Amino acid sequence: MGLDIDAWSHLTPYVGPPCANTHICQMAPEYQTALIPPARALGHIRLHTGPKTADEIRKEFGLEPGICYQGAEHYEFKLGYDEYSEWLAWLGGWNPVAFELLDGIQEDDNTVGPRVAKELLEALNPARFEATFGDAEIEFGEDENGVYPDAGSAYRDFVKACGLAAQGGLMAFG
């Protein structure tokens, strides 16, 4: 089992054929193709009310709940749950500010809009990370398969995802 992180940039309302199932809009395109014809597998996102009210969704994300949106660009990466926990522990030691923001996202509803993505990107401080570690592999923890993953790869994945979401997009943890 793992954690899927998706990010979209420049979200605009989707104007294609109606979605067969509104929950499919929240899945990554490769999963959508198994459930709907490939022509509709466009990497949509749809926010539902539940953890947040419609007004909270409008204010935080600038989106209307229950409407499909598509991004100019979509990026997805996966981390195992244990790997993510170990990486967060590493992040907490190296960059406690970014750790606090990311940990707070988990306690909310696992979805962030452009404003929070910009804050997280600034806290991640990719220039400081590159100046400190460069291309070096940073082993940490141990994943479900006994492999020591590279903290730098996860860091760069988060930086890319936050960068996209900060551009009028969204980042979701699933």
The gap from C-alpha 100 to its chain's centroid, in whole angstroms, comes to: 16
Question: Domain limits of the chain?
Answer: 2-173
Element (H, E) at 20: none
CB atoms within 10 A of CB 40: 19
Q: How far apart are CA 122 and CA 114, in angstroms?
A: 12
More confident residue, 21 or 174: 174
User: Per mean pLDDT, which range of 3-7, 111-115, 147-151 is the poorest?
Assistant: 147-151
Tokens of 20: 């067969």
How many CA atoms does the CB half-sphere of 61 hold within 13 Å? 32
Averaged pLDDT for residues 114-126:
94
The torsion region of residue 93 among left (phi > 0), alpha (psi -120 to 50) and beta comes to: alpha
More confident residue, 74 or 22: 74
Q: Is 44 helix (H, G, I), strand (E, B) or coil?
A: strand
Please check the confidence at residue 97 and state whether its pLDDT lies above 90. Answer: yes
Q: Is-contact 139 154, C-beta < 8 A? A: no
Q: pTM score, two decimals? A: 0.81
Tokens of 116: 């929070």
Q: Is-contact 34 28, C-beta < 8 A? A: no
pLDDT tens-digit series, residues 17-55 = 666 665 556 555 455 444 443 333 446 677 777 777 889
pLDDT at position 62: 86
pLDDT at position 80: 82
Please check the confidence at residue 84 and state whether its pLDDT lies above 60. Answer: yes
Please check the confidence at residue 174 and state whether its pLDDT lies above 50. Answer: yes
Report, in angstroms and rounded to the nearest whole number, the Rg of the chain calculated over CA atoms.
Answer: 17
Looking only at Cα atoms, what is the longest distance across the chain?
48
Q: How far apart are CA 159 and CA 146, in angstroms?
A: 26
pLDDT at position 89: 87
More confident residue, 137 or 129: 129
pLDDT at position 126: 92
Q: How far apart are CA 49 and CA 23, in angstroms?
A: 13
